[in-house]
Each structure stands twice: as structure tokens, then as C-alpha cells.
Amino acid sequence: MQCEMCGETIRGIPKLIRVEGAELQVCSRCGKFGTEVQQPRRTDVRRPAARPVQGTRAPPMTVPAQRKRDMFDYMEGDIVEDYAERIRNARMEKGLSQKDLALQMMERELLIKKIEKGELIPEEDVRKKLEKLLGIKLVDILTSDEEKKTQAKITQTLGDLTVIRKAKK
């Protein structure tokens, strides 16, 4: 098991601490950075597991650390900034009302209204339905050349703008 703070392999029993409201399993060195939380005791009593024969080792228990995926992990690109305008214009060109579009998509009219106002970013399945029905693209996919260009741009930092003057003695 790895320490959730420093990333080192935890030897022994991990400590459960609370840092800024988050509960983390950490090593003994990182335990000092938060307040220790008592681990809940198990109420179900189980028999101890059979001990391995001397001279053989039990395989180490490894738990894969996986984080829950959110909607941005499933998107293949970035949603365009003017998505609300594009949806509204395409809907009007097709001669559909918000209610008609919602019925065709089998979604609620309120969802369409909020998306067109820009109050709500459409989820992946809704975005695909909108793109299909209206014949528009709402995702801006960067190719590797475009990514390199955006990464290669030099941006100024505070250090570039600051002039340090030495005081005269």
C-alpha cells in the first residue's frame, strides 16, 4: 500500500489521518501532518486465517489504487466555448422549438433551456444527441501539432515582469 501523501510504500500499519477535511491513509512519517482518526473497529469476529508453513511467505496483498472517473475523462476533446450559441442557432435553422428538440432527444425541455443559456454543460450522451440531431460539432479536438503549438507558446511569469533593484549603501 502506498502513502496517499508522499507516495512511499507503507511498511507496517498505515495511519488514518484527517488533513483539511480529507481522510488519508499515510505512513508514519506523514502522520504528523494531520490529526489521527480512529479507525472503526470491526464488530464481526472472524477466526484468524491459517498461518503459512514456516519457510514460506504469504504473497503480499496489493490493492490497486483507482480513482473514480468523471465525465471529463470520457470526453475526447474540449467542449467549445460558444456551445450554447451553436446549439440555439442550429435549432432555429432547423425550425425547431426547444420543446420539439427535447422530444426528439427524449430529454427534458428544461435541460435544453439551461444548455442554451450556458448554465449547464451538456454531458457526453446529451452532447452526442445534440450533435447528431442538429448536425453540429460541440467538441474541439486538438491534434498533436496544435497541442505542441499551444505548449510551445512562452507565457510571461511574474518573475519576467519584476525588476529587482539593489539598495545603495
pTM as predicted: 0.44
Which residue, 128, 27, 136, 147, is CA-closest to 71? 128
Listed in order, the ranges of the chain carrying CATH 1.10.260.40 are 74-140
Question: What's the CA gap between 68 and 126, in Å, rounded?
Answer: 21
Mean pLDDT in each 10-residue stretch from start to end of the chain (169 residues)?
Answer: 85 85 86 78 55 58 55 66 92 94 93 92 90 90 60 67 72
Fold of 74-140: 434 Repressor (Amino-terminal Domain) (1.10.260)
| H helix runs in 12-82, sequence order | 71-74
Q: What is the pLDDT of residues 119-159, one digit of tens each?
A: 888 888 899 999 999 999 988 876 556 555 655 566 777 77
